[in-house]
Amino acid sequence: MKSSSTMHARQRARRPQHALIALVVTLILIALGIGLSTWQFVVVVALSKGLAALGLVLLLRCGLVSFGQGLYYCAGAYAVGMAMSHLGMRDLVPLLLLATVSAAVIAALLGVLLSRYRDIFFAILTLAFTMILYGLLIRNPVLGGSDGFNVQSPTFFLLADGALSRRTMFIITAVVVGVSIWAVQRFLATPMGRLGPAMKDNEIRVEYLGASARRNIFWNYTLAGALAGLGGGLTSFSIGHIDPDLAFWTTSGEFLFIAILGGTRNAYAPFLGAIALELIRSLAFQYVPNSWQIVIGVSMLVIIIFLPGGLISIARLWLRSAVRGA
């Protein structure tokens, strides 16, 4: 009983820290974006993809590999595009809510089936569903077919004088990412969030303890879909164009790459991986445009060999050495 109360006290003590760290991360992103204005577009795209990778991290913590996050990323983007084209919606907040809820509903419906499967069967099924969406979109002329369609710049209810500027969109994206980091960190501290690594180690033992592995996977999958939909909505605003390639399997593979590159220990890691990937790709396009895939592949090998815990392990080592030095 005493150890249980001590654990709850530690959890309550960590909650303000999560909020403080998320606030600091948001302020750092805003400061870097304002100071390095030429990189605002790259960072916004990276943060949007980081949201989809953040959902994938939740599944990886449960021992599941998904090649279908592109489905919800694309669903969120198309929900925004269709709402703007057919319903005349222009305000950012309801559009992002629509993208998030639409992707969450689809994830919940598919999660009822997918929560039954594990290992390679789960991975292949998620890949199949996202490719079904890709096939439907590419053959549907109403949604632009293979060319897709453009998305207008949104408005914001506090800025009713017109469309949002790139800087304002960057600040809003940074705030959305900060709130998402805080919310997911809170989720990881809950019993359902802590069950993920335990299920990855021994799912049968988790069932014997009275927890439902299937229900836990369902909620993690639904939350992962909602985060990907939110990222897809932000991407549609920053790029201004959506097409079926958002649901192609290579997009889901890129999210998996980001999750592995950043690490799966916490909610900050995927965004570190996403920013690193976009910077590597941008620099590779600039200096070795014909061999940028080789640069990314070599970077992946280096991370796996020397940093199996992802880029976030560098920050953990730095903090550990700083504590020892103090």
pLDDT 10s digits, 137-156? 998 888 888 888 888 888 88
Rounded distance between C-alpha atoms, residue 21 and residue 98, angstroms: 28
Contact (Cβ atoms closer than 8 angstroms) between residue 96 and residue 230: yes
Rounded distance between C-alpha atoms, residue 303 and residue 269, angstroms: 13
Which tops the pLDDT comparison, 10 or 154?
Answer: 154
Measuring CA to CA, which residue among 153, 130, 137, 166 is closest to residue 40? 166
pLDDT band at 324 (very low <50, low <70, confident <90, very high): low
pLDDT band at 15 (very low <50, low <70, confident <90, very high): low
Rounded distance between C-alpha atoms, residue 141 and residue 147, angstroms: 9
Q: Which of 96-105, 120-129, 277-286 has the lowest mean pLDDT?
A: 277-286
Q: What is the pLDDT of residues 21-57, one digit of tens each?
A: 777 777 877 777 777 777 788 888 999 999 999 999 9
Q: Identify the DSSP state of 244.
A: G
Mean pLDDT rounded to a whole number for the chain: 84
Beta carbons within 8 Å of 308's beta carbon, 6+ residues apart = none
Which tops the pLDDT comparison, 80 or 36?
Answer: 80
Q: Is the pLDDT of residue 211 over 80?
A: yes
In the chain, count H helices and then E strands: 13, 2
Q: Can you list the pairs that 160-163 forms with residues at least 24 positions away whose Cβ atoms lie under 8 Å?
A: none
